[in-house]
Chains A and B, each alone.
Chain A
Amino acid sequence: MELHFSLLETITFATAILWLGMFLRRRIKVLSKFNIPAPVIGGVLFALFSWGVKSYFTFDFDMTVKDPLMIAFFTSIGLAASLRMLKQGGPQVFIFLVVASVLVVLQDAVSVVLSKLVGIHPAIGMLAGSITMSGGHGTGAVYAQLFEKQFGLSGCMEVAMAAATFGLVAGSILGGPLAKRLIEGKHLAKSNFDPDKLKYNVSEEEEAVNTQPDEPVTSSLLMITIMQFCIAMSVGTIIFKALTALGVQLPTYLCALFVGIFIRNFSDITRLYKVHLRLVDTIGSVSLSLFLSLALMSLKLWQLADLAGPMALILAAQTVMMAFFAYFVTFRFMGRDYTAAVIAGGHCGFGLGATPNAIANMDAITSNYGPAPRAFFVVSIVGAFFIDIVNAIVIQTFVSFL
């Protein structure tokens, strides 16, 4: 029996799954400790359920809004990426961005080489590369979809989700001990360690960068922010079509992302109009959550079985590489001091998992060894949007060689 869901019913279903995910995440400590996203929890549960009832029911969802939501998420990254912020962040932000970008390239290289060795399609291998490591579930779902279409592979979505979830867990486990080794081995801990002085304000420095405080949200402001999203998405599609006609392959969401960057920075320079950061951020993460749960609803977990061996190998290699990279490269280039050690711990978090893992890692480290506000600032600026942009470009380059 096939169950059909209309557009609104599909959204209801997706948000119900999300809600289940949020509920479980709040109740079950392990899930929140590793910052597993709510849509992944709910989506995997539903996937298990639909696997179980496969022979009785199949589900048919109306996915009209799935791709627009994904593009909206990337647009929000563009709309938040203020080049002025990068400049004001100082050289450290820039250095860290370069370091993290090098890791992105290495991750993809490792996954392509290993997948050639074990004899799986390099596209599948890449899903366990920077797509899900430096990226995350969102980027993973996008490319999984793309690869399924472009290379006619099946099971991409399942591989990507498994890899991204593994990354989250590995990144959380790795970061703390690594930073501990760095700090204690090189005697970097702040000597005047006083637990009472641990209360520091991360946002102080960030506020200094954020020159224009956001206005209070109103309905018309919301509509105007939606307009900026829509314009970026439509213009992105037009550019995509124009580029395709010229023979250049650049996916729609990247075009939309660039239009978003343009809209944001044009507003920063000319001050003709405003981009409301908080709304952009909120719309972006709501779209991502909805997109992920829509994407995960159609997960076919049974396709994962054949790929388990090769994937495990690639993922193990990624984890080892991350550890060495953070220990030898990130730490050195960031200045070999306490802050650098905290950044290295944070880098393990988002280099394998996602930015929330990085923040959680650094929180754990600083609550033991003392505050490092600079580290938070550098990692969250790079991890939140700039690395996503670099990552998208690197992946695109690799894919064009496959």
Chain B
Amino acid sequence: MITLNLDFIETLTLASILYWLGVTLCRRLKLLGRYNIPPAIVGGLLFALLRAALVNTVSFKFDLVLMQPFMVVFFATIGLGASASLLRRGGGVAFKLLVAATVLLLLQNALALGIGRLAGVQPALALLAGSATMTGGHGTGYVFARTVSDVFGLSSATEVAMACATFGVVAGSLIGGPLAEKLIGKYKLAAAAPEGEYRKVICPDVFSFGDTDAEISNHSILMTIFQTAFAASVGIWGEGALRNCGVTFPGYAVALVVGAVLRNVGDHVPLFRVRPRIVHYISGASLSFFLALALMSMDLISLKGLGMPLLIIMFAQTALMAVFAWFVTFRMAGGDYQAAVVSAGHCGFGIGATPNAIANMEAVCAKYGMATDAFFAVAAVGAFFIDLVNVLAVNLLIQML
């Protein structure tokens, strides 16, 4: 038995190589690219498989000192993206979508707990197959899994969360496009599609919100690092302070809220302006590192035996998503072409992640025409605001269990 000890730079090196491997595979294998599986997941899973195969010959020891900072920083960046004016830009649709997504989030948890009870899965584990990984994603799923495994002593929690989140990403990509096509066909919306060629450039624009490359200087980067680190450290510090008051509230959630406050102050005070594009880069890098590190240190073997019940919950979640998007999201968003695009997006982030939502909407728009407001609404709600709601809601649920 060989033990490989990696110090923290070597651990980061391995994580970034796995990410690169993931990017390369996603580019080469159409299947992975089409479902928008995050590259860090692909690379990390491959390594986890390798580890499981080599379990008797080589053991790895990683220095994960940076994992928690990466995680908190990622949530802080979500907060820093949650601009009220972005939500306003999405128009009334954005607000209605937020309401619809919140309702779905509650239904997802009810469904997961219900089936979990019938199938005899511990409620805490079943909860991970609810909105934590569905509306959430790999990142949110992982943190809740950590809480669950700490509080309830369930060792396979992180593996369950990662499996569910990956299933959700694939399913979200699969159902979104066809659902929108059916909606458009049934209600004859194609003719009503607004004029205007679909442009690919709009997508990065949604996140950068008018921030140009030229504004990226060392100064603004360091400012943004300051804002993120500030939100993150207030988050960690706040967790301790709240615990002293007898309230259990995780640090990353505090960081998210602090980030959101910073962003909305910065929108009005030029001195504290937040640069969305740099935030977006920091967010992407820290999530990738965090996911790669999380999956690298994951033990796949413990998933055994949980397969069947989880699979049932997953299929039920997918069905729920489709039905909900068809009957609720589409109606609430106004029942027109734009609403169909929003529904496709909701399928993407409702059980997968925001990149799935964007990809679904791109596919629909490339065929029928542009729906700008839909992009803004889904980006604002899916990438930022619903995460805020989700983190708060799941935390409350965990306290009740």
Contact = CB atoms under 8 A, between A and B. Distances in A.
A12 B16 contact: no
Contact of A223 (B13, B236, B284): B284
- By DSSP majority rule, is chain B's interface helix, strand, loop, or mixed? helix
Nearest to A67: B9
B213 interface: yes
Interface in B181-197: none
Contacts of A286: 218, 221-222, 225
A282 B229 contact: no
A22 B213 contact: no
Contacts of B72: 8
Interface stretch (A28-36, A145-153, A214-222): A214-222
A282 B221 contact: yes
A234 B13 CA distance: 7
A285 B218 contact: yes
Contact of B23 (A8, A15, A220, A282): A220
Contacts of B10: 234, 237
Contacts of B9: 68, 230, 233-234, 237
Interface string A1-30: 000001111011001101100100000000
B69 A7 contact: yes
A219 B284 contact: yes
A304 interface: no
A289 B69 CA distance: 20
A285 B225 CA distance: 14
A227 interface: yes
Interface residues of A, number: 32
Interface in B1-55: 7-10, 12-13, 16-17, 19-20, 23, 39
Contacts of A390: none
B383 to A, nearest CB: 13
B223 interface: yes
Contacts of A216: 213
Given A217-B281, A224-B23, A230 B13 contact: yes
B149 to A, nearest CB: 23
Interface string A202-228: 000000000000001101101110110
Nearest to B224: A15
Contacts of B12: 230
A218 to B, nearest CB: 8
Given A219-B285, A222-B281, A282-B218, A8 B233 contact: yes
Contacts of B17: 227, 230-231
B237 interface: yes
B222 A15 contact: yes
Contacts of A64: 8, 65
A238 B219 CA distance: 33
Interface residues of B, number: 36
B354 to A, nearest CB: 13
A290 interface: yes
Contact of B20 (A6, A15, A227): A227
A267 to B, nearest CB: 14
B222 A289 contact: yes
A97 to B, nearest CB: 26
Interface in A282-313: 282, 285-286, 289-290
B280 interface: yes
Given A68-B9, A216-B213, A230-B12, A9 B222 contact: no
Given A223-B16, A230-B13, A8 B236 contact: yes
B232 interface: yes
A11 B281 CA distance: 18
Nearest to A238: B10
Contacts of A11: 225, 229, 233
A19 B224 CA distance: 10
A333 to B, nearest CB: 34
B65 A15 contact: no
Nearest to B231: A12
A253 B289 CA distance: 23
Contacts of B62: none
B226 interface: yes
Contacts of B280: 219
A301 B236 CA distance: 32
A217 B213 contact: yes
Given A282-B218, A286-B218, A286-B222, A12 B13 contact: no
Contact of B229 (A8, A220, A234): A8
Contacts of B285: 219, 222-223, 226
Given A7-B69, A223-B19, A12 B39 contact: no
Contact of A15 (B39, B229, B237): B229
Nearest to A285: B218
16 contacts: A6-B236, A7-B69, A9-B233, A11-B229, A12-B230, A15-B226, A64-B8, A217-B281, A223-B288, A224-B16, A227-B17, A230-B12, A231-B13, A233-B9, A237-B9, A282-B216
The 5 closest A-B pairs by CB, nearest first: A219-B284, A15-B226, A227-B16, A230-B13, A12-B229
